[in-house]
Chains A and B, each alone.
Chain A
Amino acid sequence: MFVTITLNPAYDHLLYLHDVEIGQMNRTHSTIQMPGGKGVNVASTLAILGEEVVATGFLGGQGSRMFEEALRNIGVTTNFIYINREIRTDFYIIEEAQNRQTLFVEEGAPIERRFLNSFKDNFDRLLTSAELIEIGGSLPNGVSPAFVKELIQTANRKKVKVVLNVQEHIIKDCLCDGVRVFILNPDMRGCEDLCGKNVCEIELRPPVARDLFIAKGADMVILNSHSFEYTVVTKDEAWHGEIEPGKSANKLGVRDSLLGGFIHNYLKTNNTGEALKYGLGAVLSTARHKEHRNHPNSKAEVEELRLMAKVRKVS
């Protein structure tokens, strides 16, 4: 069983309109509401691929029941701690005339100490049957990177694999003191570099990943500069893969689909190149999702689309 942790989930609202006129009233012609947050997106992808997965973290407020119901409908088991506040809402403005997507991200509600304690107790119980945990996304008020590090250390003690899918500042505070991470997927949205190093050029990625992260306790690192190209670096090898998204591709959740697809395949094949190809299949299936969801359409489609991925060994 896999466990995904989303400490700061969001109720995503996708607002579709022809184009936006700044400073004017704009009417949407359709809207979609769905569960969001990096851990939740990975859970959704894993469930679509047939894995048994539990999504945990913090929820609260009126939208939370619909949030959980939507996850359960695609096969995710939910085990969130409810807080006495509304969770955040993120808005994706999709301008069809411009083929442009703009994201507004709210800050999360503060989490009281008693809810953090309930979460930790619950997390300990989930670890007794977990094969792998994935920690994804930003942190709400009241939750520090030290809390994330504590979760990783608890999982390390119980020999449960850890996937860390978070921003650079959280990685810096967590990847030290002997902490082990199975897969590190830095959230590079809006970043030109990583820890001051340029990772736009593919050739630069393996030495940077090994120097910054593998030497400090990560087994594998996934780097990217946009949603449709990724490099996976291990101690001994590095693979790069790309996939052509086509026009009007949905970018929502595609990085998390890559991660979900990669985890699903790698744990079965132990083959980095094959797993990257599979992950790219999940990326394209998500990008092409008919209803603009943040997870792939179906397992069958992922397996078909992975054949379109161009993957090569780069070191």
Chain B
Amino acid sequence: MKKVKDIMSRDLTSVTEDTPLKDVAEVLSLRGINGIPVVNNKNEVSGWISERDLITNIFPEKVKIENPDVIGLGNLSQVVKKLTQVGSAKVKDYMSKTFFPVKEDTSAADVAELMLHKDLKRVPVVRDKRLIGVVDRVSLAHILLEEGSLD
């Protein structure tokens, strides 16, 4: 059975808890990814920050994107104010401290189940807490489709 080490992307792209959110947005945009591990000064994973964390914190709760009629001038000024605050804020204030690391020898089936169950697009791969790569749902799906099974 395929293991995480066979399917993971050996990529250490990450941010720290002190990275400004505008830098996170730039990293996600330049790389075309939707989430990124947060690490400490030893490259140990301490959290996860995604584009969803950014978006949900930029827009005030009562503003519904799907209903633009509710964005009146009052709400718009709230959005602008929030954008200014969020841009200079740090990752530690907005990251998810609940994250789901997997290990190199975790089976591909277990990772697939985890990602589907928790609705995760990417998960960090760790060795002794240190980041050594990521598994993303697209790559996992590609491997499953290519091989027809997880074996």
Give the interface of A toward B (CB within 8 A). Answer: 54, 60, 65, 68, 72, 75-80, 82-84, 114, 118, 121, 124-126, 128-129
Query: B10 contacts which of A72, A80, A82, A118 (Cβ < 8 Å)?
Result: A72
Per-residue A-contact encoding for B1-19, CB less than 8 Å = 1, 0 else = 0000000011111001000
Chain A residues within an 8 Å CB radius of B12: 54, 77-79, 126
Stretch at the interface among B26-34, B57-65, B79-87, B110-118: B26-34
- In the bound complex, CA of A25 to CA of B132 (Å): 47
B67 to chain A, nearest CB (A): 34
Interchain residue pairs A-B with the least CB separation, the first 5: A79-B12, A77-B10, A82-B30, A72-B10, A125-B43
B30 with A77: CB separation less than 8 A: no
Query: A121 contacts which of B16, B26, B30 (Cβ < 8 Å)?
Result: B16
Chain B residues within an 8 Å CB radius of A65: 31-32
B39 with A82: CB separation less than 8 A: no
- In the bound complex, CA of A54 to CA of B23 (Å): 23
Tell me the interface secondary structure of chain A in the complex: mixed
Given contacts A77-B132, A77-B133, A121-B16, contact A72 B43 (CB under 8 A): no
Chain A residues within an 8 Å CB radius of B103: none
B41 with A128: CB separation less than 8 A: yes
- In the bound complex, CA of A75 to CA of B11 (Å): 11
- In the bound complex, CA of A118 to CA of B13 (Å): 11
B31 with A82: CB separation less than 8 A: yes
Given contacts A82-B30, A84-B30, A118-B23, contact A75 B10 (CB under 8 A): yes
- In the bound complex, CA of A68 to CA of B12 (Å): 11
- In the bound complex, CA of A125 to CA of B44 (Å): 9
- In the bound complex, CA of A129 to CA of B9 (Å): 19
Interface residues of B, CB < 8 Å — how many?
Answer: 19
Give the interface of B toward A (CB within 8 A). Answer: 9-13, 16, 23, 26-27, 30-32, 39, 41-43, 130, 132-133
Given contacts A60-B30, A77-B133, A84-B30, contact A125 B39 (CB under 8 A): yes
A286 to chain B, nearest CB (A): 22
Chain B residues within an 8 Å CB radius of A80: 13
Given contacts A65-B32, A82-B30, contact A125 B11 (CB under 8 A): no
Question: Given contacts A72-B10, A79-B13, A129-B130, could you give 13 more A-B pairs where the C-beta distance is less than 8 Å?
Answer: A65-B31, A65-B32, A72-B11, A77-B12, A78-B10, A78-B11, A80-B13, A83-B30, A114-B23, A121-B16, A125-B41, A125-B42, A128-B41
Q: Residue on B with the closest CB to A78? A: B11
B38 to chain A, nearest CB (A): 12
- In the bound complex, CA of A54 to CA of B133 (Å): 11
B9 with A72: CB separation less than 8 A: yes
B111 to chain A, nearest CB (A): 18
Chain B residues within an 8 Å CB radius of A121: 16
Chain B residues within an 8 Å CB radius of A114: 23
Chain B residues within an 8 Å CB radius of A82: 27, 30-31
Chain B residues within an 8 Å CB radius of A128: 41-43
- B12, B13, B27, B132 interface centre (most CB from chain A within 10 Å): B12
Could you pull out 5 A-B pairs where Cβ atoms are within 8 angstroms? A83-B30, A126-B43, A128-B43, A129-B42, A129-B43
